[in-house]
Amino acid sequence: MTTRTRLLEIIRNGESSGVEFKRDAIQNHELAKELVALSNLDGGIVLLGVEDDGGVRGITRDGLEEWVMTTCRDKIRPAIIPFYEVVRDVEAGRDVALVRVTRGFDVHSLWRQHGNRYYIRVGTQSRETSPEELRRLFQQRGAIRAELGPVSGADTTDLDRRRLRDYFGRVRGQDVRNDDDEAGWKTLLVNTEIMTEEGVSVGGMLLFGKTPNRFLPHAGIDAAAFLGTEKDYAARERKTLRGPMTPLLGADGEIVENGLVEKALEFVRRNAPGTVKLEGGRRVERPAYPAEALREGIVNALIHRDYLLTGTDVELALYGDRLEIVSPGRLPNGITPDRMRAGTRAYRNQLLKDVMYDYGYLEHMGMGIPRKIVAGMRKHNGTEPELIEEGERFTLRLLA
């Protein structure tokens, strides 16, 4: 239960991304709009009986609880069942109703005038979503897959046929089409989602494109090695890593051309070479960070990032005391850092995950974080990796 003291504290702090004040005399669609916007962001509360300026007006509507529940059922799609309570005598003789919603597993809309209208919380305002925001909301809930959208202007000539032959022939053990069998190649690539009927898919370009950044400028890694413990203009090395995610392997299985993952690993090895010492007369090399943990973190950032966020790359930053990998976008499908530590699986980009798993980059059953990153860092130096979600960024932090 919410105490009077706690409620007064919330009111004193004012409206926010998660708190809205309303009179209870509003129309049902006005309440539904606020609850939809809150649920589509991170959840929050509507205080009924409170003025915009924080003044406590109190509840005036008879049958308020039934009215709230009916509103949530009739005016919101899919319907929401909120938490409802009344805090008595917030001010003498004036009660306030608290209506709380959690972050929805679905994208919710206001049903009004025979149509759906979608809202999201932006600061203290509930605003109708733009088409881009709406796509991202549906993607976050797993309802659409941005990786399967077509890449404008790209066709089969923009894919690296060498990598495709290696993937289907060596990795998957399939019969490989002749290079002049364009119809056969297109059928194969469409059936495996590397292409759509309209052209190359976003996932196909990321995995096998000759120059992915020509079409997807945000498809890469911005890497920097700083001299101290904070970002600084003076860096040991800065490099923008570009290219397809997958490597090209030769007949003996050795890498002929690096993929994006290997390029990132090489950057770390150059700038955090580790230590060498003698143990029992033997030369023992100890890397700055365990290879499996580092690889898992890089791969996860690439395959789970939100590719509808087009303004930023994955970031790889080395500091004197830590390494950080920052992936653009919120965690998908209700995943939290604690659930990741437990091995809960949720994939934003299924095609990227499947292909990188075929190449052996990923742990089976979603156990890479607990087995490779958490356990790996504990064994390596006894530290706990930090998994941090802040706004539209997810950060993996490994301590040196």
pLDDT recorded at residue 1:
84
- Give the mean pLDDT of 336-364: 85
Q: For the chain, list the domains and their CATH numbers.
A: 4-129 (3.30.950.30), 147-213 (no CATH), 215-399 (3.30.565.60)
Q: Is the pLDDT of residue 123 over 80?
A: yes
Q: Whole-model pTM?
A: 0.73
How many CB atoms are located within 10 Å of the residue 143 CB?
A: 12
Residue 140 pLDDT greater than 80, yes or no? no
Terminal Cα-to-Cα distance of the chain (whole angstroms): 43
DSSP string, 119-163: EEEETTEEEEPPHHHHHHHHHHTTS--GGGSBPTT--GGGB-HHH
Half-sphere exposure of 391 (CA within 13 A, CB side): 5
Give the mean pLDDT of 360-375.
83
Q: What is the pLDDT of residue 364?
A: 62
Q: Residue ranges of the alpha helices (H) in the chain? A: 4-13, 28-40, 64-74, 131-140, 161-166, 182-191, 202-208, 212-215, 260-271, 291-304, 337-341, 350-358, 368, 375-381
Contact 228, 323 (CB under 8 A): no
Of 31-45, 273-287, 328-342, the least confident: 273-287
pLDDT at residue 366, rounded to an integer: 65
State residue 233's pLDDT score. 87
Lowest mean pLDDT across 54-58, 118-122, 182-186, 280-284: 280-284
pLDDT grade for 146, boundaries at 50, 70 and 90 = confident
Which pLDDT value is given to residue 273? 84
Q: Residue 347's pLDDT band (boundaries 50, 70, 90)?
A: confident
Instruction: Write the CB contacts of 360 (distance below 8 Å, at least 6 apart in sequence).
Output: none
**pLDDT band, very low/low/confident/very high, at 330 (cuts 50, 70, 90):** confident
Residue 317 binned pLDDT confidence (cut-offs 50, 70, 90): very high
| pLDDT given at position 220 | 94
